[in-house]
Amino acid sequence: MAKYDRNSGKAWTAGEVKQLRQEAKGNTPTRVIGLHLGRTETAVRAKASENGISLKPTNQSPYNRK
């Protein structure tokens, strides 16, 4: 059995949105954020989009290295 709470289908709380914002700012992968919040990756992406939270990593090089 999973060691984390499942929040699927439940409304998002202000605390969860705040945690999402903090973890996105810290470059946490979307899947890991979902595990921390007990949400699916799709739900995390949808809520981030709804609230204008960018999930793109901020430590990416501005140059295309090949």
Contact by Cβ (8 Å): 21, 8: no
| 20: alpha, beta or left? (left if phi > 0; alpha if psi -120 to 50) | alpha
What's the pTM value of the predicted model, to 2 decimals? 0.77
Phi, psi of 30, deg, nearest 5: -55, -40
Q: pLDDT of 30-41, one tens digit each?
A: 999 999 999 999
**Tokens coding 3:** 């060691």
Q: pLDDT of 17-32, one tens digit each?
A: 999 999 998 888 999 9
Domain boundaries, the chain: 14-50
Rounded to the nearest 10 degrees, what angle do helices 41-50 and 14-25 cross at? 90
Q: pLDDT of 40-62, one tens digit each?
A: 999 999 999 999 999 988 766 66
